[in-house]
Amino acid sequence: MAEVAALFKQFIYRDLAFVFGGSIVLLSLAYAFRGCIPNGWQNLNWEKFPPASIIFLIAAAAYVIGYAVQDVGAILPLRLTSTSTRFEPDCFSQWLYKRFSRVEWKPIYYVAPADREFEFEIHMGRLEIPEDVLQALERIRSLKVISMCVGGCLALSV
């Protein structure tokens, strides 16, 4: 039962953000093209469609659009949104970081110098990581997904 609750929680954070972001884009498109509806759509009898199927189709389209906007925004050269953990901020961002965290920004290098070779082992599964650290990492990941998707969709809609 705990696994089902964890999966539902991940759905709420991640997938609902895609539906919300895609809905923003769909609503902005509907508003932008409100006067351009073809005559065939106005004469369509919407009452013969079950409301659940209409809601499901709109939610599915919003999910796909939200996911696509997030991924396209992450690979564009502008880097509006990014899932990257490696980030070199400019001087203003470093100043903001210092104001919020009260610590100077220090760059982190993940790659060893070319003259040094090293070996490492891959451990499958979670190591002895404290539960509060795992919760903090999960929160950061969830907020990244939400901000990348919703922020990218808002930027596209404007």
What is d(CA 20, CA 59) in angstroms, rounded to the nearest whole number?
A: 9
What is d(CA 38, CA 104) in angstroms, rounded to the nearest whole number?
A: 58
Distances (CA, A) of 22 to 92, 121, 136, 154: 31, 40, 27, 9
pTM of the model: 0.64
Instruction: Tell me how crowded residue 141 is: count the other CB atoms within 10 A of its CB.
Output: 14
Question: What is the average pLDDT score of the chain?
Answer: 78
Instruction: Tell whether the model's pLDDT for residue 61 goes beyond 90.
Output: yes
Annotated domain spans of the chain? 2-31+49-115+129-157
pLDDT tens, 31-51?
Answer: 888 877 666 666 777 778 788
